[in-house]
Amino acid sequence: MRRSMGFYRILMGLAALAATSGVAGQSGTSPDAPAPLSYGKHLSQAIRLNQVGFYPDGPKRAVLVTIDTGGYQTGSGDTGTRDLVFYICSPDLKDRAYKGSLDLPQTDPISTQKTRLADFSAFKDTGNFVLWIPGIGYSYPFHIGYGAFGPLALTVAKAYYYQRASMPISMAYAGPWSRPEGHPDDHVLVHGSAASAGRPAGSVLSCPGGWYDAGDYNKYIVNSGITMGTLLSVCEDFPDLAAKLKTGIPLTDQGIPDLLEEILYNLRWMLTMQDPGDGGVYHKLTNAQFDPFIMPAEARTTRYVVAKGTCATLDFAAVMAQAARVLDKYPGACPGLKDSCLQAAAKAWTWAVAHPQVYYDQTGISQQYTPAIGTGAYGDRQSADEFVWAGIELYLSTGSLQYKPVVDTLHVDAVGIPSWSDVRTLGLYSLLRVPSAVPPALLASIKRGILAQAGRWASAVAQTGYHAVMGENPREYVWGSNAVAANQGVLLLEAWKISGDRAYYWLALDNLDYLLGRNATGYCFITGVGSHSPLHPHHRISEADGIIAPVPGWLVGGPNPGRQDGCVYPTAIPNQAYTDLTPAYACNEIAINWNAPLVYLVWALEADQPR
Ligand code: 9MR
Ligand code: 9MR
């Protein structure tokens, strides 16, 4: 909120400026004549841009919505037929540092909005600016600088700290978002669905720690899987940056990056979710039903571990194997942990091979056992991709011939982005990290697949109204569409690494521009970031803590015409189906698996900037 206070001060200054400068009406001017320089000195939400910043050497684009056919927000009032100039100005509009003209209007294929692009890539000065279009208004402020996303990199990673279960979140690290410990999870019951000979129903387990999944307070292994795989990949791919970025969290292990410290908080919880008797992993640790909107410390409902499953067990195996590889780089730290991870991963694999199709069936479980379970299902009836991911990570981390057949029998045609239910691509990314271990033909097919996907996206981007890959395909506006945008960015960065073609790096940045405000809703989708961001996420802590500002650094789910929450949205148009309301969990929840690719995207972009 501090950022926006500053922003409002700017606004007030501008109001005073407008009052003294004799702002004139449109008298005597035809609608198509150039606008006088004397009006339009107010904020215009019709100007959409990255509300955080730009790199001096990078592309810089803003979009003016001239006509908003969807009725989500008003357009600019511009007819779209006249020539329009824009200026990059100091925030008080006194100094004009750059002049450009807007492109002709085009129709955004999804929203059917009419949009005009303002490209100021040629402007390379550093500092704080607004974009001003005479007659229309000025934009939210932004920064141009090397390391423009350094603070953002810290904010989106720090978010996980606020989400920790089973420990107090202290004032020293969390400031206003400090809170007492919630969900100790040291007295967790084995649900009937999870019973085994060694651990009959009602046995008491201790499974403390970890992150709450999302707006709710439950902890799900499947969703921890993709989250951890993505965050561990940040550590693996950008160790130098990880060593430098200090997120300001309590440190228990010496000599490891803050990000890894945060990751290990969830990893140690995950380890408790394996049955040491047989190696199987419980699907989730949960209440029977969702908690109400109360603070973690007030929640007292009985907690259960529910049903072992193949997908959870393999996701667990993959995470533990990859973690062993990352921990290997910090030999002095966390004594014994790497070996524990490797043993746990191997045991989990063995269980999964013996139980290859134990799928999570919440309806069936609830019919058979009491209590019935109504929390997030993360049900997935396909374990082939989990076998591939786990097999690859185990092979790369152990070199054992036991896992080699997974690599030898792998055939890759197309490569798509991963999701919690489809994790194969996480394994493919890992193969690219250790090319010497991969058969050359397989390696080539993975690269071809990634370049083909990235190439298709690149060729269609100019047709979108907001110049971003996210925006090409209306079917991508699913529950958690913002994570689709972030994951597209990650794939584009892989394409950049493979080909050396910078254009893919900039296309990845375009998707970050999308998430930070250059989109059909005008929102910067990360709490506490930018000038116009969600204030009412579906997040129990943010809603119940009595603080107006939501917990910062969280990416909300984003536009989703599915509206599975039954809420009223302003429109069902895919890229505008968003509302900043707490009950709207299908577009405005936050989740650990959505922030993870955002962390990857921002850290990867920053890792390549001079600092
Ligand atoms: O708060 C829950 C959120 O975390 C889940 O993503 C969502 C879908 O499973 O469900 C939310 O809980 C709602 C429940 O499904 C229906 N009754 C209202 C609950 C809170 O809004
Ligand atoms: O992200 C999940 C989305 O892909 C599913 O369509 C949706 C309904 O099953 O559930 C989402 O995950 C939620 C989980 O079930 C409970 N915690 C909150 C998650 C984010 O909304």
Residue 411 pLDDT > 60 = yes
Residue range 232-254: average pLDDT? 95
Q: How far is the CA of 134 from the centre of ligand 2 (A)?
A: 44
User: Is 172 a member of any domain?
Assistant: yes
Give me the residues paired with residue 133 across strands.
Answer: 137
Give me the residues paired with residue 87 across strands.
Answer: 99, 132
Q: How far is the CA of 373 from the centre of ligand 1 (A)?
A: 13
**Which residue CA neighbors atom 4 of ligand 2 most closely?**
479
- The Cα–Cα gap between 355 and 31 comes to 71
Residue 488 pLDDT > 90 = yes
What pLDDT, on the 0 to 100 scale, is given for residue 35? Answer: 57
Share of the chain above pLDDT 70, in %: 93
Share of the chain above pLDDT 90, in %: 89
CB 468 within 8 A of CB 430: no
Cβ-proximal residues to 96 (8 Å cutoff; 6+ apart), any chain: 87, 88, 89, 132
User: Is 395 a member of any domain?
Assistant: yes
Choose the weakest-confidence range: 7-11, 148-152, 334-338, 418-422: 7-11
Give me the chain's average pLDDT, please.
Answer: 93
User: Is 266 a member of any domain?
Assistant: yes
Does ligand 2 have an atom closer than 6 angstroms to the CB of 591? Answer: yes
pLDDT band at 78 (very low <50, low <70, confident <90, very high): confident
User: Is 525 a member of any domain?
Assistant: no
Domain count, the chain: 1
pLDDT tens sequence across 578-609: 999 999 999 999 999 999 999 999 999 999 99
Residue 564 pLDDT > 80 = yes
Residue range 553-576: average pLDDT? 97
Which class for 404: exposed (0-12), middle (13-18), buried (19 or more C-beta within 10 A)? middle
Residue 318 pLDDT > 60 = yes
Does ligand 1 have an atom closer than 6 angstroms to the CB of 489? Answer: no
pLDDT tens sequence across 385-400: 999 999 999 999 999 9
Give the SS3 label for residue 282.
strand
Phi-psi sector, 506: left (phi>0), alpha (psi -120 to 50), beta: alpha
pLDDT band at 70 (very low <50, low <70, confident <90, very high): low
**Which residue CA neighbors atom 21 of ligand 1 most closely?**
583
Closest ligand 1 atom to Cα of 293: 20
User: Is 234 a member of any domain?
Assistant: yes
Report which DSSP code applies to 97: E
Does ligand 1 have an atom closer than 6 angstroms to the CB of 565? Answer: no
Closest ligand 2 atom to Cα of 421: 4
Q: How far is the CA of 202 from the centre of ligand 2 (A)?
A: 27
CB 63 within 8 A of CB 465: yes
What pLDDT, on the 0 to 100 scale, is given for residue 71? Answer: 57
pLDDT tens sequence across 502-535: 999 999 999 999 999 999 999 999 999 999 999 9
Closest ligand 1 atom to Cα of 586: 6
- The Cα–Cα gap between 524 and 63 comes to 14
As given in the structure block, the two tokens for residue 239 are 């160790």
Does ligand 1 have an atom closer than 6 angstroms to the CB of 214? Answer: yes
> Which of the ligands is closest to the CA of residue 557?
2
pLDDT band at 82 (very low <50, low <70, confident <90, very high): confident
Backbone dihedral angles phi then psi of residue 358, each to the nearest 5 degrees: -90, 95
What pLDDT, on the 0 to 100 scale, is given for residue 76? Answer: 78
What is the span of the domain harbouring residue 245? 166-208+213-438
What pLDDT, on the 0 to 100 scale, is given for residue 34? Answer: 55
- Other CB atoms within a 10 A radius of the CB of residue 373 amount to 24
Give me the residues paired with residue 304 across strands.
Answer: 189, 286
As given in the structure block, the two tokens for residue 403 are 């896992």
Q: How far is the CA of 347 from the centre of ligand 2 (A)?
A: 28
pLDDT band at 33 (very low <50, low <70, confident <90, very high): low
User: Is 226 a member of any domain?
Assistant: yes
pLDDT tens sequence across 347-375: 999 999 999 999 999 999 999 999 999 99
- The Cα–Cα gap between 469 and 458 comes to 7
Residue range 11-35: average pLDDT? 40
**Which residue CA neighbors atom 6 of ligand 2 most closely?**
479
Ligand 1 probe mutation, 163, 211, 212, 216, most atoms within 8 A of CB? 216
Q: Residue type at 444? A: A
CATH of the domain at 419: 1.50.10.10
What pLDDT, on the 0 to 100 scale, is given for residue 77? Answer: 73
What pLDDT, on the 0 to 100 scale, is given for residue 81? Answer: 75
CA 12 to chain centre: 33
Q: How far is the CA of 569 from the centre of ligand 2 (A)?
A: 19
pLDDT band at 135 (very low <50, low <70, confident <90, very high): confident
> Which of the ligands is closest to the CA of residue 214?
2
Tell me the pairing of strands 188-190 and 204-205.
antiparallel
Does ligand 2 have an atom closer than 6 angstroms to the CB of 291? Answer: no
As given in the structure block, the two tokens for residue 400 are 């054992």
CA dihedral for 244, 249, 254, 258, sign (positive or negative): negative
Distances 38 to 20, 22, 284, 358, 561 between C-alpha atoms, Å: 11, 8, 61, 69, 41
Does ligand 2 have an atom closer than 6 angstroms to the CB of 216? Answer: yes
Choose the weakest-confidence range: 37-51, 187-201, 307-321: 37-51
- The Cα–Cα gap between 598 and 173 comes to 22
What pLDDT, on the 0 to 100 scale, is given for residue 28? Answer: 36
Does ligand 1 have an atom closer than 6 angstroms to the CB of 585? Answer: yes
**Which residue, 356, 409, 406, 362, is CA-closest to 383?**
356
CB 360 within 8 A of CB 283: yes
CA 338 to chain centre: 27
- The Cα–Cα gap between 260 and 341 comes to 15
Does ligand 2 have an atom closer than 6 angstroms to the CB of 479? Answer: yes
Give the DSSP letter string of 223-247: HHHHHHHHHHHHHHH-HHHHHH---
pLDDT band at 475 (very low <50, low <70, confident <90, very high): very high
> Which of the ligands is closest to the CA of residue 538?
1
CB 196 within 8 A of CB 374: no
Place of tokens 């600016």: 129
Residue 123 pLDDT > 60 = yes
What pLDDT, on the 0 to 100 scale, is given for residue 17? Answer: 37
User: Is 55 a member of any domain?
Assistant: no
User: Is 537 a member of any domain?
Assistant: no
Phi-psi sector, 275: left (phi>0), alpha (psi -120 to 50), beta: beta
**Which residue, 329, 164, 160, is CA-closest to 235?**
329
- The Cα–Cα gap between 534 and 539 comes to 11
Residue 27 pLDDT > 60 = no
Q: How far is the CA of 586 from the centre of ligand 2 (A)?
A: 8
Place of tokens 């040291």: 186
CB 495 within 8 A of CB 605: no
Ligand 2 probe mutation, 589, 590, 595, most atoms within 8 A of CB? 589
CB environment 6-25: b (16+ within 10 A), e (fewer):
ebeebbeebeeebeeeeeee
Give me the residues paired with residue 132 across strands.
Answer: 87, 138
- The Cα–Cα gap between 372 and 370 comes to 5
CA 127 to chain centre: 27
As given in the structure block, the two tokens for residue 431 are 């193969």
**Which residue CA neighbors atom 16 of ligand 2 most closely?**
376
Q: How far is the CA of 124 from the centre of ligand 2 (A)?
A: 42
